[in-house]
Amino acid sequence: MQVQLSHPARTVEVKGPKKVKDLLRELNLVVEAHLVIKGDDLVTEDEMLYDSDQVEIRPVISGGSLLTPHPLHLMDSE
């Protein structure tokens, strides 16, 4: 199967069939820290992938809220 990775950007060929979680482990990626997309759909870690599949793997990115007050502003109000 063709696997497109985004950090760093590269494309690799991986032999199937295998479960998503096994693909991630084979690529030394943490299952909980990555999204796997087949076509336009997110796939679960237990879904089977086959040689004819094309998938994209993206890291999960999280951040804080833009509405969180800055710590120094909290000190000004005391």
**Can you give the CATH number for the domain in which 14 is found?**
3.10.20.30
Residue of 52, 49, 75, 57 whose CA lies nearest to 5 = 57
Specify the number of domains making up the chain. 1
Contact 58, 35 (CB under 8 A): yes
Range 20-26 contact pairs with CB under 8 angstroms and sequence separation of 24 or more: 20/44, 20/45, 20/46, 20/47, 20/49, 21/45, 21/46, 23/49, 23/55, 24/57
Q: Give the torsion sign (CA, 64, 33, 46, 5).
A: positive
> Domain containing 41: what range?
2-76
Q: Model confidence over 7-64: pLDDT tens digits?
A: 889 999 999 999 999 999 999 999 999 999 999 999 999 999 999 999 999 999 876 5
Q: What is the pLDDT of residues 5-23, one digit of tens each?
A: 988 899 999 999 999 999 9
